[in-house]
Amino acid sequence: MKISAIKNTNIVFGRSLKNEELEEFNNLKKECKNLTNQTGKSIFIVHDACLPQSPLKNTGVGNLSSTDSINFFKYMQPYIDFNMVEVLPQGQIAPFNKLYCAYTATALSLGNHQINPELLTTKDFENLLTQEEYSKIVNNNNLPQKEDFVNYHNVMDNNGSQNNILKIAHERFKKLPENSNLKQQYNTYIQENADWLNITRKYEPDTDFFKFKQFLADEHLKIGKQKLNDMGIKLCGDCLIGFSLDEVNAYPNAFKKDHFIGDPEWKLPALDYDSITDPNSDAAKLLKRKVQLFAKRYDAIRFDVGWAYISPVVTPKGEKHILDQNKKYLNDNLLKFIENAVKEIKGQDFDLHNLMYELDADPETFSMWKPNSSEQIDATKGRVKILGNTYMHWDDELGWGTNASYINRGWSPDEFVLGIGNHDPQPLRQIAQGTPEKILLPDGNIIEAEHKQPAIRALAKIFHQPESQFESPTEFAKAKWADTMQAKNRQMFYMDVFGREERFDLQGFNTIVHPEKNYAYKIPTNYIQSYQNAIKEGFGFNIMDSFERLFKLKGFDQKYPDLFNKIIKFKNILLEPEPEEIIQNPKIEPEQIKNESKPIANTIKKSSKKAPWIIGTILALGAASGIFIKKYSNKKGNIKPQPSNNSTDKKLTPQNTYTKVSMNKFI
């Protein structure tokens, strides 16, 4: 990666708000959100493995409980305004064809990356590791582009550096007195989770060591969740539809042998959906255990492939196509079972709206409409549906993929979440720039799906402007951000927030060339500059730009001129260049995260006497710009537009994608 200090480049980026501006900014947001009815969930989706890590703490994989992560959330919260953080599945990942995909993780156990080894150097964890031992994990992260990509091997794998260091911590833990607080907490944890902790695991031969790691992983996740809760932020877990092979082998009677759930290409073993509505069946018991673990670990749950709990497609091994006869029709029986399982854990804190179901799917696979009607099936009514405006269109009376199109169907604003996208689809920036999505069909043919023009027609209708207004890539992107701000509940994926062009999920047929980039694009340590650059370019999320567009659309610019003028004021402030002293001296931190950065600053100070070059390296990295490989590809379960009736759009039925590579500078 090419690195150069900011003062030697021509990059001009926006600036952070000052303390006195932040208070006014936050008050303005609150007023604007109330007026535009954007008062529900604002979900910031991140892959916690990709969270930023400062140079002296870069183990290779991020962690929710780290100081770096909390500083990141504290900085970003005012600007993009979120009250919920959603993480991708947090189970243990084993590489499949060298790809580390969160959706092939374990469903019951947490991954090794949920352990924050730095916490083990503290009194709260009996100083199970020394600072030097922790530093070995950091030093062994020797990935050439470690600032840009996750190093899963260093942290996740059993022969990785972190796992080897944790064995030292385990030996010390075994020697602790039985009456120590940590040992007592551990013993309670083991008793409460004995059923799934004791299953045989191929890659975890040392059962005691595995239990120790799971205890730490759950404790550290709990710490990260509490830190977010203290900031007024809920944590949402992503409940993956599948199970690992170890879990399948441990509960064989819960699964239908040689059958897959969903697209056969996913190769995800299917639960026995013939018996799953019987609460006494092995399938129902295993599903309940998984759901209740998620209910304990998280404030809210996103159900991946949510339609599979309503009308699952169970395909025999060897079949390549999803056939209608492979569908099971469960109505809302399984949804009620899931919701009751969560109620048992949450008690009075249970909120149906904190259970959200991914319902974007190929209409041939799943449709939420009654036959020959635009009315919802009973199972989806009143439940929160996760949808996106990635593939919006308005070719009929009702349209699809926009806030208005769902309201036109009579939906309550409370029963859907609208977002630019997530880990699955083509990123906003690619679509805005007119990059076609290349799709590899099951028959081997490659087609191109162009998503911009259908969206332009929809945006023109929504904002009452000529289609030519949205030909500009940045105007297109800004309008799509504004449309999501019309929804009461919205979501945003970190790659889009930062205006990134790379495809996050690279599980196309050509990703074997660059498997290290799959689910691995890190949020840079210089995220402040990166975010400000994204706003400056016009692709990143600028909340004040969205409010400006909504106020004009609703006539609020005339009705509330003082508010509107403040919106314009802050929109322009965010586009101002950073003050010269910040550019010349990157170590100066914004006021809102300065206090939280003291532990890092102290570490740097202590290290400076032994290795003065470290300081220069850190400052250079903090002010770095890099060269990134841009890739375009696709994933299992990529979302397609739902029709308003029974029509289908077969050209938008991606299975895998052709990958095109280009070189671009990330700014």
Element of type H or E holding 631: strand 626-632
What residue has token string 């993956």? 240
Those residues with Cβ within 8 angstroms of residue 202's Cβ, 6 or more apart along the chain or in another chain: 245, 246
Q: How far apart are CA 111 and CA 93, in angstroms?
A: 7
Adjacent-strand bridge partners of 628: 664
* H helix or E strand, kind and range, residue 84: strand 84-87
pLDDT tens for 77-90 read 999 999 999 999 99
Cα dihedral 450, 456, 458, 462 in deg (nearest 10): 160
Give residue-wise pLDDT tens across range 426-474: 999 999 999 998 777 767 778 888 899 999 999 999 999 999 999 999 9
pLDDT for position 634: 32
Listing DSSP states for 233-284 in one string gives -EEEEEE-S---HHHHHHSGGGEEEEEEESSGGG-PEEE-TTTTTSTTSHHH
Angle between helix 452-463 and 543-554 (nearest 10) = 50
Residues, the chain: 667
Token reading at 411 = 């939906």
627-657 burial code (b ≥16 CB/10 A, e <16): ebebbbbbbbbbbbbbbbeeeebeebbbbbb
Check if the beta carbon of residue 209 is closer than 8 Å to that of residue 170.
Answer: yes
Residues of the chain with pLDDT under 70: 1-13, 97, 442, 507-513, 579-667
Tokens, residue 97: 């064809």
- Residue 300's H or E segment, with its range, is strand 300-303
**Alpha-carbon distances of 432 from 392, 471, 501, rounded to whole Å:** 13, 8, 10
Question: What mean pLDDT value characterizes the chain?
Answer: 85
Interhelix angle 282-297/207-230, rounded to 10 degrees, is 50
Note the pLDDT tens digit of each residue in 36-73: 999 999 999 999 999 999 999 999 999 999 999 999 99
Return the pLDDT at 437: 87
Report the candidate in 463, 353, 447, 448 with the shortest Cα–Cα distance to residue 402.
Answer: 463
Closest CA to 366 of 293, 422, 309: 309
Q: How many angstroms separate the CA atoms of 140 and 6, rounded?
A: 28
Whole-number Å distance between alpha carbons of 541 and 480: 10
Decide: 306 and 386 in contact? Cβ < 8 Å.
yes
What pLDDT score does 580 carry?
Answer: 56
Q: How far is CA 26 from CA 13, 23, 332, in A?
A: 22, 5, 41
Phi-psi region of 512 (alpha: psi -120 to 50; beta: other; left: phi over 0): alpha
In this structure, what is the dihedral angle of CA atoms 3, 7, 8, 10, given to the nearest 10 degrees?
100
Residue the block writes with tokens 């009996």: 126
Contact between 535 and 522 under an 8 Å Cβ cutoff? The reply is: no
- Spell out the residues 6+ positions from residue 194 whose beta carbon is closer than 8 angstroms to its own: none
- The answer for residues whose C-beta is within 8 angstroms of residue 147's C-beta and 6 or more apart is 1, 58, 522, 524, 525, 621, 624, 626
Contact 548, 485 (CB under 8 A): no
Helical pair 561-575 and 527-537, crossing angle rounded to 10 deg: 120
Assess contact for 300 and 354: CB atoms under 8 A: yes
- Read off the amino acid at residue 621: L
User: Which residue, chain included where needed, has tokens 């040392």?
Assistant: 206
Residue 291 Cα to chain centre, angstroms: 19
pLDDT given at position 135: 98
Closest listed residue to residue 72, CA positions, set 278, 223, 228, 254: 228
What was the pLDDT predicted at 395?
Answer: 83
Token readout for 396 is: 């009929």
The pLDDT, as a whole number, for residue 508 is 59
Residues with Cβ < 8 Å from 426, sequence gap 6 or more? 390, 435, 437, 451, 503, 632, 634
pLDDT at 141: 97
Compute how many other C-beta atoms are within 10 angstroms of the C-beta atom of residue 56: 16
User: Do residues 467 and 476 lie in contact, with contact meaning Cβ atoms separated by under 8 Å?
Assistant: no
What are the structure tokens assigned to 131, written together?
A: 């600072």
DSSP 80: H
Nearest to 355 by CA among 368, 370, 341: 341
Structure confidence at residue 373 (pLDDT): 84
Q: How far apart are CA 268 and CA 244, in angstroms?
A: 8
Angle, helix 527-537 to helix 67-80, in steps of 10 degrees: 20
**Which ranges in 396-447 belong to alpha helices (H)?**
403-407, 428-432
* Three-class SS state of 388: strand
pLDDT at residue 631 in the model: 26
Task: Measure the CA–CA gap between 243 and 333, rounded to whole angstroms.
Answer: 21
Distance in angstroms (rounded) separating the CA atoms of residues 25 and 233 = 19
Sheet holding 269-271, edge to edge: 269-271, 255-261, 314-316
